[in-house]
Amino acid sequence: MPGDASREVLEDLYETVLLLASEQGRIEERLRNAYLSSIRALEPLDFPEDARLKLESIRAELEKMYADGSPAVDRNSAINLALEIILLYDRLAKK
């Protein structure tokens, strides 16, 4: 199973996807909540090598967006990052 995501990684990402899809509020708020409650705590070394760089890229963007606690985040940027998270989960779940 080398290179595959662990069940725990998939569960953590799935919870993040559910939060993005079903929590109330604007996408910017849901993405911030996902970042603070789960994405920030994900350990890149738990991810398969091919997904690690994508996770690190997503986290770096989120860190920049929410570093100062400002709710003034570009909606299109939030949508794009949320989509990247969903696609990362989808890619790992299909392996």
Neighbour count for residue 59 (Cβ, 10 Å): 16
Contacts of 71 (CB under 8 A, 6+ apart): 28, 29, 32
Q: Which residue has the higher pLDDT, 95 or 66?
A: 66
> To the nearest whole number, what is the mean pLDDT of the chain?
88
Q: Could you tell me the pTM of the whole model? A: 0.88
């779940």: which residue's tokens? 93
């953590």: which residue's tokens? 12
Q: Which residue has the higher pLDDT, 6 or 68?
A: 6
Domains of the chain in start order, with CATH, are 7-93 (1.20.120)
Q: In terms of Cα–Cα distance, which of 43, 38, 45 is closest to 17?
A: 38
Q: What is the Cα 54 distance to its own chain's centre?
A: 10
